[in-house]
């Protein structure tokens, strides 16, 4: 059974969440939008949307997972908007220009992952979310998250086996 | 942590390193206060638009198709919803995601939508001039929000369809499928279109054979 808290209390909790997890939100949003300013803007936009939608927050799900969902959607929308106006900052480019060469091929591998797998990887490793929170964020079952990340790990393990290190 | 997980973590650290950032909650609140008025205006406009569904074709280029069966039927009659003190009977057709769908009693088929958290309170509604028919097999409700960066971003996309419409797909201008949803019991939402539906996109409605029966161009 869920307990409905007063909206003012949820609003305070939302602000605390924003302040405490801001770098993680920006990091995930930056990874999705492939743009530093885009990531920051997506997070600001997401929390603006969250404030507007507080009345529709269902207390069955943790507030943080609900917010992560909004952040991911805002970042995806931001990325799409950037591409439409011709500002693509591709993950592939980031992998080439990042600090140090992509010796393991992991960055290229991430760039080529299907979107849901890539989002799950970002949420797992940049935000340190557990499988249940990732499931709520992506709107899938927990088992799907587990299978998605396992598939991603298996694919990477295979690619590392196939490509010898120099 | 496994070796693979450790490798991924290290590489991701290189890709988008953790940065020292200062959160700006004040800006979030300013954004929240600013667009609110525009959202309110947009919601009013949306309601007006919905009531003038027959005129939607002036805004959206809509095409229909003949030859598919069931485009003039609407089988879902819904269940009666109690509304003490309000004249006319209201039937709940179903709930999809956070949207509730209604049929209003009358000679014509009049329908409405509202939030699922407020059953019995449709926020918008209308009676299609020719719905359901081969020329108007679908009735959509698209709520639009004006934001700083985009002049028209859809926050809610829902609607009702004739028996013969089985599926809808959101296509990019280049024809890539961005989102899809089945249509069951004559009602649908496209939650994944939220924030993504942009000018130039198309929403295509298909029958059970995969034949296009209706297109809305944004």
Are residues A48 and B117, on separate chains, in Cβ contact within 8 Å? no
Share of chain A above pLDDT 70, in %: 75
How many whole angstroms separate alpha carbon B103 and alpha carbon B113? Answer: 9
DSSP state of B205: E
Residue B206 pLDDT grade (very low, low, confident, very high; cuts 50, 70, 90): very high
ipTM score of the complex? 0.77
Dist CA B179 CA B171 (whole Å): 7
Q: Label residue B49 by pLDDT band (50, 70, 90).
A: low
Q: Kindly determine whether residue A56 and residue B115, on different chains, have CB atoms separated by under 8 Å.
A: yes
**Rounded (to 5) percent helix, strand, coil in chain B:** 25, 35, 45
In this predicted structure, what is the pLDDT of residue B163?
Answer: 94
> Using CB atoms, which residue from A76, A98, A102 is nearest to B196?
A76
Confidence of residue B153 (pLDDT cuts 50, 70, 90): low
Which pLDDT score is estimated for B149? Answer: 45
Mean pLDDT (chain A, rounded):
78
pLDDT at A93 over 50: no
Q: What is the mean pLDDT of residues B39-47?
A: 56
Q: Provide the 3-class DSSP secondary structure of residue A16.
A: helix
- Pairs from A118-123 (Cβ < 8 Å, separation ≥ 24): A119/A32, A119/A72, A120/A145, A120/A148, A120/A149, A120/A152, A121/A149, A121/A152, A121/B8, A121/B12, A122/A28, A122/A31, A122/A32, A122/B12, A123/A28, A123/A68, A123/A72
Q: Which range, B57-61, B72-76, B98-102, B127-131, is most confident? A: B72-76
Chain A residues in contact with B16 (beta carbon < 8 A): 27, 30-31, 94, 126
Beta bridge partners of B203: B170, B216
Closest to B18 (Cα-Cα) out of A43, A27, A100: A27
| Cis ω before A68 (30° cut-off from 0) | no
Strands (E), B123-186: 124-127, 138-145, 153-161, 167-171, 177-182
pLDDT digits (tens, 9 = 90+) for B161-184: 999 999 999 888 888 887 888 999
Give CA angle at B192 (A140, B132), nearest 5°. Answer: 120
pLDDT value of residue A88: 39
**Interval B4-40: pLDDT, tens:** 788 888 878 878 887 778 889 988 888 887 645 555 5
CA-to-CA distance for B122 and B113, rounded, in angstroms? 5
Q: What percent of chain B has pLDDT over 70?
A: 68
Contact assessment for residue B186 and residue B75, using Cβ atoms and an 8 Å cutoff: yes
Q: Which residues of B touch A (CB under 8 A)?
A: 2, 4-5, 7-9, 11-12, 14-21, 23-25, 27-29, 31-32, 35-36, 39, 98, 115, 117, 147, 149-150, 153, 191, 194-196, 198
Cα gap B50→B42, rounded to integer Å: 12
d(CA B166, CA B185): 10
Alpha-carbon distance values, A57 to A2, A20, B103 (Å): 12, 20, 26
- Top-confidence residue, A86 or A76: A76
| A contact test, residue of B2, B5, B8, B118 with most A CBs within 10 A | B8
Q: Are A72 and A28 in contact (CB under 8 A)?
A: yes
What is the SS3 assignment for B95? strand
Euclidean distance between CA atoms B103 and B136, whole angstroms = 17
Tens digit of each residue's pLDDT (9 = 90 or more) over A98-154: 444 455 567 777 777 888 888 999 999 899 999 988 988 888 888 888 988 888 788
Question: Closest approach of chain A CAs to the CA of B70, in angstroms?
Answer: 32
Local structure of residue B59 (DSSP, 8 states) = T
* Subunit contact B7:A104, Cβ cutoff 8 A: yes
């Amino acid at each position: 059974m869920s307990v409905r808290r007063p909206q003012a209390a949820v609003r305070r909790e939302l602000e605390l969440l924003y302040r405490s997890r801001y770098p993680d939100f920006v990091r995930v949003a930056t990874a999705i939008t492939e743009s530093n300013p885009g990531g920051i803007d997506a997070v600001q936009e997401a929390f603006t949307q969250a404030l507007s939608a507080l009345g529709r927050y269902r207390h069955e799900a943790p507030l943080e997972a609900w917010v992560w969902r909004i952040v991911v959607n805002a970042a995806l929308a931001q990325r799409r908007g950037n591409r439409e106006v011709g500002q693509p900052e591709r993950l592939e480019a980031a992998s080439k220009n990042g600090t140090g060469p992509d010796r393991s091929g992991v960055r290229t591998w991430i760039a080529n992952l299907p979107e849901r797998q890539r989002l799950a990887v970002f949420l797992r490793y940049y935000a340190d979310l557990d499988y249940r929170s990732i499931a709520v964020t992506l709107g899938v079952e927990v088992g799907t998250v587990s299978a998605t990340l396992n598939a991603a790990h298996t694919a990477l393990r295979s690619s590392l086996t196939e490509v010898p290190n120099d | 942590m496994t070796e693979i997980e450790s490798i991924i973590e290290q590489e991701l650290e290189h890709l988008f390193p953790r940065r020292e950032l200062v959160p700006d909650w004040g800006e979030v609140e300013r954004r929240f206060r600013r667009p609110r008025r525009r959202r309110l205006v947009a919601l009013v406009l949306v309601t007006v638009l919905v009531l003038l569904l027959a005129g939607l074709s002036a805004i959206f280029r809509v095409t229909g198709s003949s030859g598919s069966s069931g485009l003039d039927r609407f089988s879902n009659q819904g269940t009666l919803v109690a509304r003490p003190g309000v004249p006319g009977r209201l039937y709940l057709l179903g709930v999809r995601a956070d949207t509730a769908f209604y049929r209003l009693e009358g000679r014509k088929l009049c329908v409405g939508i509202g939030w699922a958290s407020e059953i019995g309170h449709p926020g918008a509604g209308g009676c299609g001039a020719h719905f359901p028919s081969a020329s108007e097999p679908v009735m959509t409700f698209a709520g639009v929000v004006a934001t700083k960066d985009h002049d028209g971003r859809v926050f809610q996309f829902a609607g009702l369809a004739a028996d013969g419409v089985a599926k809808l797909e959101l296509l990019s201008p280049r024809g890539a499928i961005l989102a899809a949803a089945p249509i069951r019991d004559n009602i649908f939402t496209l939650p994944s279109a939220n924030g993504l539906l942009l000018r130039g996109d198309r929403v295509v409605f298909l029958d059970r054979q995969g034949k296009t029966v209706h297109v809305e161009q944004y």
